[in-house]
Amino acid sequence: MAPAPDQLAWQLYTAATQLPAHIVLLVLSALTGLVFSLVYIGLHLIAPKPRAPFRAEKTYITTNPDGTISAPRPLPCWYDRWLAEGRLNQARASAAAAAGSPVPDADINTASIEPAEVGMSVVIPAYNEEDRIIPTLEEMVEYLDQRFGRTGAVANPTQAKTPPHHRLVFNTHAAQAKPASGYEIIIVNDGSKDRTAEVALDFSRKHGLHDILRVVTLEKNRGKGGGVTHGFRHVRGEYAIFADADGASRFSDLGKLMEGCEDVVDGSNRGVAIGSRAHLVGSEAVVKRSAVRNFLMRSFHFILTILTPPATSRIRDTQCGFKLFSRAALPHIIPYMHSEGWIFDIEMLMLAESAPATPVLASDGSVIGTSYGIKVAEVPIGWHEVDGSKMNLVQDSIRMAIGLAVLRASWMMGVYRRRLT
């Protein structure tokens, strides 16, 4: 008969006390290493790994001035250029080392992002949104026309505008450069089974948004995070924002986010501003929610404060689908994204917080210190509940909690890499 658990524990304890101390330490070290290895292998197996885009997903369609739909066109991609430049830097470093010359920084992260071509890029992840996307686009285009104007061959040149800056705290080179004007809207059609793409293109035709509104169709559904990341790899704007297709966030509050971003931007022009609904807690919009939904919301926020680094844990609303990034911040975040589900917002904020230090410049351009991480401004915005949410309250809340734990563990154990230089 097998010994009882307490008897087995006693036998193990007795055997351990009779062994030399160095043997006990060796056994404990071996067990610790085994557990670490198993966890590391397990994380590699279960941690999300984004798939590479298909060739067709790197093209877009838009409307032509005559009302027809364009043939697929190549989608500009700063990410591909950034990746190629980084690999070229590594090749040069290897060649310099082989020749015995001083070795430059070989890190792929030394690559830079190409200059902006438009003032604002808007990315809309859309999955079966034919019934909700039109009011969102109407509000969006009205504001963007007024704030940024339109550029391009089919646009009236007098419409092009230079967006006013709230506060110029960019470095000397950026302050002397002329800000880009115009805007683009990239709708990432995430494998929709309805007429989302057709509805968006019909809107483009009626409003003359030729080559301004671009539809990118993913062959296989990737989730909201995957759609946003894919869209952000192709933005051309001085700023880039993603906005939910349901129009729950008041788009005219974009100006507030731009001001918030410029208030926290550092000497390398890196900054993030996120829309926040935290000020609505206690309002009718939140009180009317079910008790289960409010309980799950508070529970998730409690888990968030435990599993995220300090700056991210202090953010009161990480899940609002209205987040703005300066162009210079993108190479520190987008190439290192892994989460493709609901948890992707938190990974973006954690990557911003962990970004490497950048010089702090005085008004004369001299370096007076360093600033660690990309600062995030949390900006109160207008928001209202919209019917038709695709989120399963209980199941997705559990998945988000598990996903956050996996994300944090993958960071701690080196399964996921981050930008460190």
Q: What is the pLDDT of residues 5-29, one digit of tens each?
A: 667 677 666 766 776 777 768 877 8
Cα 226-373-333 angle, rounded to 5 deg: 15
The answer, yes or no, to whether residue 171 has pLDDT greater than 90, is no
CA atoms of 68 and 404, how far apart (whole Å): 45
Q: Structural domain boundaries of the chain?
A: 60-67+117-247, 77-116
Residue that wins the pLDDT comparison between 94 and 210: 210
Share of the chain above pLDDT 90, in %: 47
Q: What is the pLDDT of residues 178-189, one digit of tens each?
A: 678 899 999 999
Q: Band the pLDDT of 173: cuts 50, 70, 90.
A: very low
* Lowest-pLDDT choice from 140-149, 281-290, 334-343: 281-290
Query: CB atoms < 10 A from the CB of 389, how many?
Result: 12
* Lowest-pLDDT choice from 274-288, 365-379, 392-406: 274-288
Over residues 274-295, mean pLDDT: 68
The predicted pLDDT at position 28 comes to 78
CA atoms of 82 and 177, how far apart (whole Å): 21
Q: Band the pLDDT of 75: cuts 50, 70, 90.
A: very high
Q: pTM score, two decimals?
A: 0.86
The predicted pLDDT at position 35 comes to 85
The predicted pLDDT at position 366 comes to 73
Tokens read off for 228: 């946003």
The predicted pLDDT at position 326 comes to 96
Q: Band the pLDDT of 385: cuts 50, 70, 90.
A: confident
* Lowest-pLDDT choice from 42-51, 278-287, 310-319: 278-287
Query: CB atoms < 10 A from the CB of 257, how many?
Result: 23
Over residues 46-53, mean pLDDT: 88
Q: What are phi and psi of 50, to 5 degrees?
A: -60, 140
The predicted pLDDT at position 189 comes to 97
Q: How far is CA 86 from CA 93, 105, 111, 402, in A?
A: 11, 10, 5, 34
The predicted pLDDT at position 386 comes to 78
Torsion angle defined by CA atoms of residues 77, 58, 188 and 338, in that order, rounded to the nearest 10 degrees = -70
- Mean residue pLDDT across the chain: 84
Look at residue 161 and give its three-state secondary structure.
coil
The third-level CATH classification (topology) of the domain covering 60-67+117-247 is Spore Coat Polysaccharide Biosynthesis Protein SpsA; Chain A (3.90.550)
Q: How far is CA 98 from CA 26, 86, 87, in A?
A: 42, 19, 17
The predicted pLDDT at position 157 comes to 47
Q: What is the pLDDT of residues 138-154, one digit of tens each?
A: 999 999 999 999 976 44
The answer, yes or no, to whether residue 32 has pLDDT greater than 90, is no
Residue that wins the pLDDT comparison between 173 and 75: 75
Tokens read off for 421: 């230089």
Q: What are phi and psi of 211, to 5 degrees?
A: 65, 10
* Lowest-pLDDT choice from 159-163, 247-251, 257-261, 303-307: 159-163
Query: CB atoms < 10 A from the CB of 385, how many?
Result: 11
The answer, yes or no, to whether residue 290 has pLDDT greater than 60, is no
Q: Band the pLDDT of 335: cuts 50, 70, 90.
A: very high
Query: CB atoms < 10 A from the CB of 27, how many?
Result: 12
Task: Report which residue type is found at 235.
Answer: V
Contacts (Cβ under 8 Å, ≥6 apart) of 179: 119, 162, 163, 165, 238
Q: Which of these, 390, 388, 392, lies nearest to 135 by C-alpha position?
A: 388
Where do the H-state alpha helices sit in 224-309? 224-232, 254-264, 284-287, 291-307
Task: Report which residue type is found at 15.
Answer: A
The answer, yes or no, to whether residue 43 has pLDDT greater than 60, is yes
